[in-house]
Amino acid sequence: MNGLFEDGAFVPSEAVHVGVAISLRGGGLIAPAIHDVDRMAVGDVMAALRDLVNRTRGGRLKASEMSDPTITVSNLGEQGVESVYAVIYPPQVALVGFGAIVERPWVVDGRVEPRSVLRATLSADHRVSDGHRGARFLAAIDRLLQEPEKR
């Protein structure tokens, strides 16, 4: 899912540059990238995200942050939206959407308990992926979010 569709073929990217969909205060949307996310600790990713959002909304982006995201994430949870059905930014082939964290009844060891859950969705270019690969990708994200220290 990490790569670009160029010249009629999928070109996987060795680097992971995550585009982040950021709403602008005056309206509109922009998706600059955090570079080499796969080499960063979770705390460093969160710090880079806060910095990127602040600089984006302050009009202080670097040109390099706009040029080469290899996959994009969008989070509409802060708006109370539970599901994101997003549009891919070509030539990227995938976008992962995250909704609001909500409390739901959840079955754990045969008992119903309240759990905080969120819905992750995937928009993918079917020239590159299919539902099976997409499901495996979302399952991998779920595992990583459950135990980020095992990354």
- pLDDT of 123 reads 96
Regarding the domain delimited by 3-150, which CATH topology (the fold level of the hierarchy) does it fall under? Chloramphenicol Acetyltransferase (3.30.559)
- pLDDT of 150 reads 72
- pLDDT of 151 reads 64
38 is annotated as an active-site residue: no
* Three-state SS sequence of the chain: CCEEEECCEEEECCCCCEEECEECCCCCEECCEECCHHHCCHHHHHHHHHHHHHHHHCCCCCCHHHHCCCEEEEECHHHCCCCCCCCCCCCECEEEEECCCEEEEEEECCEEEEEEECCEEEEECCCCCCHHHHHHHHHHHHHHHHCHHHC
pLDDT at 148 exceeding the cut of 80? no
CA distance 47 to 107: 34
- Domain definitions of the chain by residue range: 3-150
- Which percentage of the chain shows pLDDT scores above 90? 75
- Which one of the listed residues 17, 130, 132, 142 is annotated catalytic? 130
44 is annotated as an active-site residue: no
- Which percentage of the chain shows pLDDT scores above 70? 99
Q: What mean pLDDT is reported for the chain? A: 92
pLDDT at 5 exceeding the cut of 70? yes
- pLDDT of 83 reads 92
Query: Which pLDDT tens digit goes with each residue over 22-59?
Result: 988 888 889 999 999 999 998 999 999 999 999 999 98
Query: Which pLDDT tens digit goes with each residue over 54-95?
Result: 999 998 998 888 878 999 999 988 888 999 999 998 999 999
- Which one of the listed residues 38, 68, 125, 126 is annotated catalytic? 126
pLDDT at 19 exceeding the cut of 90? yes
CA-based nearest residue to 52, from 16, 20, 26: 20
